[in-house]
Structure 1
Amino acid sequence: MPTWNSRGLRGSTLEEFINRTNEKYLEHNLALIQKIPTPITPVNIDKQHRHITLAYFEQKSTVDYIGAVQGIPVCFDAKECQAETFPLQNIHEHQIIFMENFEKQGGIAFLILYFIKKDQFYYLSLRQLMRFWNRCQKGGRKSFRYDELDPAYFFQRNGALLVPYLDPMQMDLASRE
């Protein structure tokens, strides 16, 4: 069973930005998106500092966020990337299966990537992700490079919206019609 430790907090800044963006979307009746907590079972607790120092995941996580945007079911995961290469090992097969099944039910699934050094966000649709995933499964690269991504789906902060992902999501939806 996998253990929980500080490595699991790597995306917490990105997730906090997304949480604030989701609050703004809700205030403006644009979307209702909820952060999905990953259930853990604490093993060791530092009672003096009230910290969990060791825990086990109770089950495999699916995605970080789920909800609806103007009646469209949406699920997505948030990933930070230090380099210009994103390792596919950061995405698990059970997450791919969940996102594929989610889209089969009429929803839209994607990843929000944050390239830290470039201070850029990227909307990676499930279709785009599957191109890289399938290439890896066939013995190809086990990662994808920044320069392989469609430039149209990069986006920046926009005022109070720290991670304004609805615009690239709308482009993704339009490309499906």
Structure 2
Amino acid sequence: MGTWNSRGLRGSTLEDLINRTNERYQEMGLALIQKIPTPITPVKMDKEHRQITLAYFDQRSTVDYIGAVQGIPVCFDAKECVADTFPLQNIHRHQVTFMEGYEKQGGLSFLIIFFSARNILYYMRHDEMLAFWKRAEDGGRKSFRFDELDPRFLMELKNGCYVPYLDAMNLDLELREQLDKE
């Protein structure tokens, strides 16, 4: 069981951007994606400010977002990285397991990674994430570098506040379709 504290808010800027994007996609009738709250048990409260100051996670969370995009079940997690090297320890085994199960049920899972020093977003396909994960399990690097990523899945913020993941998701689906035909 981990302890909740302000460190968990590191990705809140990215989550705010994704939440705004999801609201826009919903308004446009393109997608219905919901942020999954992490269940916590409060231990200490600041009654004057009505804030939780210490809490424990009730259970391991799965992914940050879940929903549907025009009939396709979708789940994804948002990650933030300051450096050009992303440590795989930021992706937890239970998340990988959940995403694998989601894919087996016909859903689409992926990561959105924000490389904050570059101000660049990346849509990491499920298969790509698994390849890096397997490499680490097989004794290889326990991280991946920015220059190892597929440039077709780099995303820039649109209008300064929207994460255009539907474009990348469409490309992901096209690649999956090509693989199925081979």
Same fold (TM over 0.5): yes
Partner amino acid for 2:142? K
Q: Does 1:35 align with 2:35?
A: yes
1:141 corresponds to which residue? 141
TM-superposed CA distance for 1:151, in Å, is: 0.5
Contact 1:78 1:111 in 2 (8 A): yes
Question: Which residue identity does 1:56 align to in structure 2?
Answer: Y
- Give distance in 1, aligned partners of 2:24 and 2:66: 16
Q: Which amino acid aligns with 1:10?
A: R
Is contact 1:21-1:160 (8 Å) kept?
no
Within a 5 Å distance, the mapping from 1:90-169 to structure 2 comes to: 90-159=90-159, 162-169=162-169
Asked whether 1:47 is paired with 2:37, we answer no
Shift of 1:143: 0.5
Please, what TM-score do these two structures have when normalized by structure 1? 0.98
Deviation of the 1:159 alpha carbon: 2.5
Q: Do 1:81 and 1:113's aligned partners in 2 also have CA atoms closer than 8 Å?
A: yes
- Name structure 1 gaps, 5 residues minimum: none
- Could you say if the C-alpha distance between residues 161 and 53 of structure 1 is closer, same or farther in structure 2, counting changes exceeding 3 Å? closer
Q: Which residue of 1 aligns with 2:76?
A: 76
User: Secondary structure of 1:53's match?
Assistant: strand
Name structure 2 gaps, 5 residues minimum: 178-182
Aligned length: 177
The offset of 1:51, in angstroms, is: 1.6
SS of 1:80's partner is strand
CA distance in 1, matches of 2:86, 2:78: 13
Amino acid at match of 1:97: T
Backbone CA RMSD of aligned residues: 0.9
Choose 46-55 or 34-43, whichever is displaced more.
Answer: 46-55
Q: What's the secondary structure of 2:172's corresponding residue?
A: helix
CA distance in 2 between partners of 1:83 and 1:74 (Å):
28
Q: Shift of residue 165 of structure 1?
A: 0.3
TM-score by length of 2: 0.95
The CA distance in 2 between the partners of 1:161 and 1:16, in whole Å, is 9
Supply the AA of the counterpart residue of 1:118.
Answer: R
Query: Does the 8 A contact of 1:24 with 1:161 survive in 2?
Result: no
Amino acid at match of 1:109: S
2-structure distance, mates of 1:3, 1:32: 31
Percentage identity across aligned positions?
A: 67
Cα distance in 2, alignment partners of residues 173 and 142 from structure 1: 28
Q: What SS class does the counterpart of residue 129 from structure 1 fall into?
A: helix
Give 1:161 shift: 5.5
